[in-house]
Every structure is written in structure tokens, then in C-alpha cells.
Amino acid sequence: MPSPFRPAFPDRARSRTSRGGSATRTGAGLLACSLVLVGGCKLVDQRTFNPSANRPPPPPVLPAGPPGRAPAPVPPLAAIPEGAPPESWKAALSGVARAALDRKPNVLFRVISRVPTRGGPDAQATALASAGKGTAQQVADVLTAAGAAPAQVELSGESVPGLTGPDVQVFVK
């Protein structure tokens, strides 16, 4: 009767341990299976918790207005024809400027001197230069006297086709 403490086939036991045995094959099999299984997993990154991370935001969708119509232009705070006597508009402009400053202390007044488009570029430049020195400068002085800081008054000029005569418009921003 064979001993219970000895292997039944000692030559087989020795040959398995000398070749690396079934433990090595089992380990290799487990490694191959784990690579196949883990290969299909999704790695955890910033998009796991926030799907839109690192993507540009979608462009804003503006509400559609009525078809075929352009938006209405913003009306000016004041429109003063060039050459109008200052007594006719100074008090009204000063009151409107104080009301705008009371409502929003850091308001920006845009004073635009407009001239009709006539002649060539040189004629338009001359007309803009003369228009800026007249009523537009007086309007800027009234606005600063009403309490606006000089940095809150912006002077500019433009030539407008179809305009009948020069004027000054004041916009609030």
C-alpha cells in the first residue's frame, strides 16, 4: 500500500515542478483573461462626471424676430440741428443729462456730429472737422456742466448719406 504522504506518481510531480508547473500556466491564463476584460473598460476622466468638459459651448440661439424686418434703431437721447441757438436746447439737455446720471452714475454719453455725404472724401473731412468744433463741442460742455466727467463724454463724427443738413445726436450707453 502506498504511503499517504508520498505522491503516487513521483516522476510526474518532479517533472511539473521542473517545467514551471501548472501554476505558471494558470497565472498566464489569468493575466490574458484580465487583459481582455480590462481592455474593454472606460477610463475615469473629467468627462465621466461632466460630459461637456473641455468642449466649446454651443453658440447662443437668438430669438427670431419677425421675418423680413430689421431691428428698430435705438433713438437718440437728443437730436440738435447744427447752428441751432444754444438757448433753445441747453436747459432741456442739461435736465436730461442729470436724469441719466441719477439713474446710472457711470453712464457714457456718445455725442455724434453727423454731416451729409456730399463731394469727395476731402470735402467730407472738412465738413466733419467744422461740425465737430461747433455744436458738438457745446453739447459736450453742457453734459460736463450737468455733472458728467469728461471721460463719460465721447465725441465722434460720421457722414450720413441722405441727410439734409448737419446735426448732433446724443446717445446714452
Give me the residue spans of the domains in the chain: 78-172
3-state SS class at 7: coil
Q: Tell me, what amino acid is at 73? A: P
Q: In 10 A of CB 144, how many CB atoms? A: 15
Q: Homologous superfamily of 78-172 in CATH?
A: OmpA-like domain (3.30.1330.60)
Q: Write the DSSP symbol of residue 83.
A: T
Tens of each residue's pLDDT in the chain, 173 residues: 566 666 665 555 555 545 555 667 787 777 777 776 666 677 788 878 888 888 888 888 877 767 777 777 889 999 998 888 999 999 999 999 999 999 999 999 999 998 888 888 888 888 878 776 788 899 999 999 999 999 999 999 888 888 888 889 999 98
